[in-house]
Structure 1
Amino acid sequence: MASIDDMDAEFARELSLLDIIVLGIGAMIGGSIFVLTGLAAGEAGPAIILAFALNGIITIFTAMVYAELGSAIPEPGGGYLWVREALGRPHAFLSGWISWFAHAVAGSLYILSFGSFVTLIITGYFGFDPGLAPVTLQKLFALLAVIVFTYVNYRGAKEASRVENLVTFFQLSIVLVFIIVGLMVLIRQPNPTVDFDPFLPQGVGGVFLAMGLTFIAFEGYEIIVQSGREVVNPRENIPKAIFYSMLIVVTIYILVGIVLIGAVQLTPGLVETAQQTDSIGGSTVPELPADPAVWQVLGHLGEFGLAQAAGQLLPYGTLLILVTGILSALAALNATTFSSSRVGYAMGQDRVFPDSFSYIHAKYRTPHISILLSGGLIAVMAVLLPLAQVAAAADLMFLLLFLQVNYSMIKIRRERGDELTYGYIAPLFPYIPILGIITKLLLAMYFFNYSPLAWYIAIGWILAGVGLFFVYSRGRIRETEIARETRAISEERALVERPYQVVVAISNPETAKRLVTFGSRIARHHNGEVLLTTVVTVPVQTPLEEGANYITNQRELLAEAMRYVPEDIPAHRVVTIGRNVGRSIVNLAQERDSELVILGWRGRSKPTKPPILGTTIDYIVENTPCDLVIAKTEGPNTPRNILLPTVGGPHAAFIENIATAFTDDERVSLTLLYVDENDTDAVESLLLDRQTALQGSGVNASIASISATNVSEAIIQFAEAGEYDTIMMGITRGRILQRSEIGHIAEDVGEQFSGEVLLGKYYQPLQSPLIQWLRKRRDEQEELTEENREL
């Protein structure tokens, strides 16, 4: 038994900088660029370009605030959490109440755009007439979408987040093609500026209205900071993701505005289409003049403006934009349902909402009540309001939320700045947040000119929240203390920590003893320590801290495994809480700066299909930032007769070093075996040198070499004939996973040998992408040659 019992629980940080940049871009592009650009053009005319640029400038003030607070307090809850920290729980309740509603209303915008696009496709392209008014059909499709995606979030499907990333890359590709083709058309025109005059046909007021209408497109940093607990190196990566995504998105919107106004030709066909197409979501130009400008036609087309413009520039452009818009709307709907339900969950945890908001489903491990109620709120808003009014209400709600966040940043910096560790500090304090407050307030006030209804909705919702607070939430606040985020279960470290750490990943109680024995022997050989871990996974819809409620069995598993650690080996144990087992183990090894990871392998279940060793192991093999040993534990308790097939190289040297950890007993023998088509004197000389070196270290070593065309079969036959109980092999392939990261020879041996098999990979960091690419090409060529030999 280990002398010190070290037990804690940690959260896996799995999202890279690229992951959260994509997350932010997806949230900001989402359905907005396909829906709101036409509506905004109808308000600002050619000055839509200025509206997008000014929105980027105004938004950057609050983006700096989010970058600072997101780097200093990278916790789920985002703006709600910061307002609570700075202004107390009553103000936090109001911010959470607004945030919950804002994300839900944004979800309504996306499902309404989904309904509009689907309706146009089935009625305009397929000629299907269901006998319903277009607006009714739109609402029905919208309700169907919210039901499906509420259910997806309820079930906690991991595929939803993967599909969302694919949709983001797809929609970016389509938008970039649209921009490139449009700019080429614009450049070829004899007078490319003609459609930009007059630049301000609606005056400055039109610019402000377009800014307010499209502001929702620039608030994706709210979703970036919501994932703070799951981001690798959040203090550095969250600010980077916010600024990179903002730069990309603002540039894209400006370029789309230029193409819409400058490259689209005002043809009789386009005017006729605009006259015949009723904007289901609410056109900003309900009546076209006799001689309309491009921007007026786009405004009359409303949410179909970008799609009809693409029809001029790209083959099947209208249909392509409609399909892309449908996919984008669904991906954005999934993200907003996720965010809205998380805010509701956080408020339930904080006891200002009913406890049911924080309930976690026993089977799916999702905040199912919060998800269902958020989905219901999205559906209600979609049914009650047209698309343009939904967009206006969402924009106004986010503006009011950002007012509170900007002020909270001032309070937190002044009162807690010395206590926090910042990855980014906004310059010109406190002028940046003050500018954020002033610009958001002015934009919100001017927004009344565009949509009084949005203001009435906002005021009504805020008043309802104030009433709920005094009737219900204030009493619960008085009864309870502030709920703290779940962190470590306990934290004890060994009295003496050693520099060489072996991580032993345990998932099966039946193999725990053998894996711990392996890890302890290797740790002793290197005067090191062991870290036992197991992983609790929770779906993306559930905050990571909820995983702490499901660690009981894993704690018992690790407590049992600790019994097998020898007294002389310092041992720690940690339950890792994450989204994915492979990522969590890789993350733990990186965070703890471990030297070796050991995990078990059950063998292939489907030999003919990728993944090679299994999805989890393949990911670990490819990404672990240290040495790795994969063990198939079907041998004796103590290896006595070890066979080590070798072809030289760093992986073989590494596994040879591992093998020596098991040869401290003179009764254990080790045989080095070389198998190839040609049994040469050079090979025999190499093996003799290695045998001499091992024997000089006190290892009972012998050598053998055989010729064979099928290397894996020859190894197995040799092992069975020699009654070897354990085979240890180094990886002979490089850093390619498609054919086999392990190498198909080692994999075949591990699968077919009846005894114990240890497969070892030596960690070789590649500093240069060019070197990595060249090595990959070399490995592919070597593998092809190996296959030809076997054929």
Structure 2
Amino acid sequence: MAGSLEDHTISTELSRELNLFHLTMMGVGMMIGAGVFLGVGNAIRVAGPGGVLLTFALNGMVAMFTAMSYAELSSAIPRAGGAYNFARVAFGKGTSFIAGWMEWFASSVAGSLYAVTFAIYTMHYFNQLNLLAWLPIDIFYGEKILAVLVAILFVYINYRGASETGKTGAFFTLGQMITLGIIGAAGIWVFIQDPSRLHNFQPFLPMGWGKLLITMGFTYVAFEGYEVIAQAGDEAIEPKRNLPKAMLYSIFAVTVTYLVVAFAAVVGVKAGSPGVDGPVWEWIGGFKEKGFGMAVQRLMPFGGFLVTLTVIFASTSALNATIYSATRASYALGRDRMLPKMFAKISLKNRTPFIALFGTAVIVLFVAGLLPTMDVASSASMMFLLLFFLVNLCVIKVRRNMGDELNYGYLMPFFPLLPILAILIQATLALWMHQMSPVAWIIAPAWIGGGALIYLLYAKSRSVTTSYEIVTLEEEKAEEVSKNRVLIPVANPNNALQLVRNGFKILEAKQAQVELLTMVKVPEQLPLSHAEDYMWEGREAITEAMIYLTTYFPVTTTIRYCRNVARGIVSAAREKKIDTIILGWKGKTARTDYIFGSTIDPVIQNAPSNVLVFKNCNETTYKRILVPVSGGPNSRLALAIAAIMVDPADGYIVPLNITAPGKETLDIEQFIEKECEKGVRDKVKEPQYAVSKQVSATILEQAAHYDLIVIGASNAKALSHLIRSSIPEEVAASTDKPMVMVKSTEGIQSFLKRYL
């Protein structure tokens, strides 16, 4: 059995107290924590004055793409765990453990970064005021000690509960937005009073466009706030509505804030003023992570105090949010037994996962106290880039495989273009990270490698099954004697025998290895441990089919659980490397939102193998077979199936091509000569041609003279139940004749379905 079906509940649940305002403030607070204070000075140093603006603008755009992926997935799967949950649904246990492991580390490291940011700016300001002369240690060690102390404070605040965390985060986030707004307004005012300050942006990109990839890479950590919002699925009020809104609102607000504040920093320094001997951007960049603070001191009176105050608000709100996010990631791993179940223990008093919080605190304090600042920032950015890369893959796979199954509160536009663009950009940024911090390329793979080892040695054998997963309940494997695998899903013992009789000639021609599959449906209100109660009908169907098949073919039988039968069939076809799926269809369904039904439609659309759908087929061979032909792989497969099912003694196949008036006619003889094997060509009688505006009606009229229709399906997109059915589906739904509809998987689309 692939995973335990034990009932797993945690007696005490997380408290649902976070509204849209709290969620948005958590996202904003997590983002505006280090992006401005550490990122501006370093980005100007590496990419120049224009580079810092382009860095934040482009990162904001890329972050919006990924935020839409998070928003869509969070609206459908609103649970604590974020990317871990998404990967569990999309790719299974192994990938999801690595996602949760990265998420835990990345958020914890980001929290360390914010604690260090707070310490650097606070100590720097006090040092400028000569208030640290009494300090018996070097200021560097003072910064580390202060970082550890402030981290401990916010670990305690998180322990107090979600409401306390949300209110504290909202307070500090509002404070930082006000102070940053003052800095931005001051920059705009200075520019209006002295437009010559725009000369500070000359040259705009002194280091060239290539440096943008570096600055985008190490500042990307400043845009990961939507990740903490995704972690709040179990604690958000109306999560399907509020989680997506909070993500998109926070990205927009933060991107605008970054651009305004970065502009203010550049124009805030007057060229040629005391101490500024060269270009302004070189002067700011020379201070590295402290460059923003130095620029603001030149911008306005009490600038140093304002920056310090802003840092206190921003870094602490971000620290608060990242500790919350990291804790929920490790809690989710414990909840599903990927980590020891003690990580899922919840305080009865505060209703917070206190063991997970303690584990997070250990990482935060260790990194804040021992690792250098830029390597901390780069490591966090690296982990988030890899995590977001995975989430963008998840949104594509989940929408495609489970779109009909999930209840979405938000669907992104231009799907799947936006997640694909985000994937390409994030992969590029991750590769360029080595130029900023080679250490990041050591820390990130080391953590992932350690996680893979823990999964193999611990989590793989102990994790519990979630309701979205596919579980093999029983399987009896036959000896493998053929590479041609044919999958026949059976469910009803009353028609299982007829279905395998329909496909007998196909199995015989392929000398097939037969895979009989039954999918067990457990009502959603019941736990997975009740699967055994719903298996008897599937077992009986398999027995009926085996009685007929085992004399002739090697037969493997499998009983699986899945909430969605179509997804279970497609998954089995992919795992078992199936060549052909044989399905039966009773006829037109009463539902108007599907063509063939909620099972057959998704299988035809998503299967990585050829699909044959039989309707009203009571014989194994037929004398006169009509094959409507329009060219392409489906027509080629239809002719091949017809050649298998035609009576070998005196049967024949008639290909028919119908075109609309004024349209070019397909040369059937040339198509068959080029695309079909000799065995098919020998069974083909003289092709028929017709011109008609009513293609479906003409096919049905011609079919009256034949014993069987074999027709190729329309392409996958036409099978979407959101649009009207196309010609093959209209024929299939309207005819009472025996019919086989086929879908071929030849071409690049099928290659991607099979291997990706």
- For the aligned pair, the TM-score class normalised by the smaller chain equals 0.5 to 0.7
Q: Which residue of structure 1 lines up, in the alignment, with residue 279 of structure 2?
A: 293
| Counterpart among 43, 58, 62 of residue 58 in structure 1 | 62
Q: Which residue identity lines up with residue 236 of structure 1 in the other structure?
A: R
**The one of 88, 92, 95 aligned to 1:91:** 95
| SS across alignment from 2:190 | helix
Please say if 1:199 is aligned against 2:185: no
- Provide Cα deviations, 1:191-215, integer angstroms capped at 9, x if missing partner: 2431111111111222111111211
Counterpart pick for 1:404 among 367, 373, 390? 390
**Equivalent of residue 170 in structure 2, options 165, 171, 176:** 165
Contact 2:197-2:267 at 8 Å conserved across structures:
yes
Indicate whether 1:329 and 2:315 are aligned: yes
Instruction: Write the letter of the residue equivalent to 1:167.
Output: F
* Paired letter, 1:25: V
Q: Which amino acid aligns with 2:168?
A: V
Asked if the contact 1:307/1:319 (under 8 Å) is kept, the reply is no
| Distance in 2 (alpha carbons) for counterparts of 1:222 and 1:361 | 24
Deviation track 1:274-332 (CA, whole Å, cap 9, x = no partner) reads xxxxxxxxxxxxxxxxx532222222223322222222223211112112202321221
Q: What's the offset of the Cα at 1:469?
A: 1.4
Q: Where does residue 356 of structure 1 map in the other structure?
A: 342
What whole-Å deviation, never above 9, does each CA across 1:452-480 have from its counterpart, x for those lacking one? Answer: 11111101111111111112222213xx4
Report % sequence identity: 40
- Aligned equivalent of 1:38: 41
1:176 maps to amino acid: G
Structure 2 runs not aligned, ≥5 long: 1-10, 470-756
CA distance in 2, matches of 1:12, 1:323: 32
- Give the C-alpha shift of residue 432 in structure 1: 1.9
The one of 202, 219, 222 equivalent to 1:217 is: 222
Q: Deviations along 1:3-56, whole A, 9 cap, x unmatched?
A: xxxxx9998754333332222211211343223222222111112111111111
Higher relative contact order (CA 8 A, sep 6+): 1
State which of 368, 376, 380 in structure 2 corresponds to 1:382: 368
Report the residue type matching 1:26 in the other structure: G
Aligned mates of 2:159, 2:148 — CA distance in 1: 16
Residue identity in the other structure for 1:334 = N
Gap runs ≥5 in structure 1: 1-7, 272-290, 486-791
Show CA shifts across 1:472-528 (max 9, x none). 222213xx434899xxxxxxxxxxxxxxxxxxxxxxxxxxxxxxxxxxxxxxxxxxx
Instruction: Give the equivalent residue in structure 2 for 1:138.
Output: 143
- Aligned-residue offset at 1:158: 4.7
Aligned residues of 1:113 and 1:303 also touching (Cα < 8 A): no
Q: Distance in 1 between matches of 2:22 and 2:299?
A: 32
Q: Alignment partner of 1:461: what SS?
A: helix
Q: 1:246 is matched with which residue?
A: 251
Residues 325-374 of structure 1: per-residue CA shift (max 9 Å, x gap): 02321221121111111111110111111122112235444322211111
Among 96, 105, 116, the alignment partner of 2:120 is: 116
- The answer (yes or no) to whether the contact 2:114–2:315 under 8 Å persists in 1 is yes
Letter aligned with residue 250 of structure 1: T
Report the CA distance between 1:69 and its aligned residue.
Answer: 1.0
> Match for 1:248: what amino acid?
A
Give the direction of change, closer, same or farther, for the CA distance of 1:360–1:483 in structure 2 (3 Å limit).
farther
State how far apart, in whole Å, the 2-side matches of 1:423 and 1:88 are: 23
Q: How does 1:485-524 map to 2 (within 5 A)?
A: none
In 2, are the aligned partners of 1:94 and 1:465 still within 8 Å (CA)? yes
Counterpart of 2:181 in structure 1 is 176
> Which of 121, 132, 141 is equivalent to 1:128?
132
TM-score (norm 1): 0.55
1:281-680 to 2 correspondence within 5 Å?
A: 291-477=277-463, 480-482=464-466
1:311–1:449: structure 2 CA closer, same or farther, 3 Å change rule?
A: same
Shift of residue 187 of structure 1?
A: 2.2
Matched, 1:28 2:28: no
Q: Deviations over 1:657-681 (max 9, x none)?
A: xxxxxxxxxxxxxxxxxxxxxxxxx
SS in 2 for 1:204: coil
C-alpha distance in 2, partners of 1:438/1:136? 40
Distance change >3 Å, CA 153–CA 206, structure 1 → 2: same
Judged with a 3 Å threshold, the aligned counterparts in structure 2 of structure 1 residues 429 and 10 are, in CA distance, closer, same or farther, namely same
Q: Distance in 2 between matches of 1:168 and 1:89?
A: 36
Contact map agreement 1:349 1:483 (CA 8 A) in 2: no
8 A Cα contact 1:264 1:294, kept in partner: yes
Would you say the 8 A contact 1:118–1:141 is kept in 2?
A: no
State how far apart, in whole Å, the 2-side matches of 1:148 and 1:402 are.
29
Instruction: Quote the offset at 1:232 in angstroms.
Output: 3.7
Distance 1:401 1:198 in 2: 35
Aligned to 1:499: none
Whether the 8 Å contact between 1:154 and 1:372 is mirrored in structure 2 is: no
Residue in structure 1 matching 2:20, options 13, 17, 20? 17
Matched to 2:38, the amino acid is V
One-letter amino acid of the structure 1 residue matched with residue 56 of structure 2: F
Question: Does structure 2 retain, via aligned residues, the 8 Å contact 1:309–1:318?
Answer: no
CA contact (8 A) 1:62 1:433 kept: yes
Shift of 1:107: 0.6
SS in 1 for 2:346: coil
Quote the Cα distance in structure 2 between the aligned partners of 1:35 and 1:331.
Answer: 16
106 and 308 in structure 1: CA distance in 2 versus 1, 3 angstrom threshold: same
Structure-1 separation of matches of 2:400 and 2:467: 24
Query: CA 1:11–1:365 in 2, change beyond 3 Å: closer, same or farther?
Result: closer
Q: In the aligned structure 2, how far is the partner of 1:121 from the partner of 1:99?
A: 33
Equivalent pair of 1:77/1:226 in contact (CA under 8 Å): yes
Task: State the distance in 1 between where 2:293 and 2:112 align.
Answer: 20
Contact 2:18 2:162 (8 Å CA) reproduced: no
TM-score, L = length of structure 2: 0.58
Matching residue of 2:602: none
Q: Cα 1:381–1:30, aligned 2, differ >3 Å: closer, same or farther?
A: same
SS of 1:34's equivalent? coil
Distance between the aligned counterparts of 1:116 and 1:14, measured in 2? 34
Alpha-carbon distance, 1:428 to partner:
2.5
Post-superposition offset of 1:155: 4.2
Instruction: Report the equivalent of 1:533.
Output: none
1:245 CA displacement = 1.6
- How many residue pairs get aligned? The number is 457
Q: CA deviation at 1:392?
A: 0.7
SS in 2 for 1:366: coil
Partner of 1:710: none
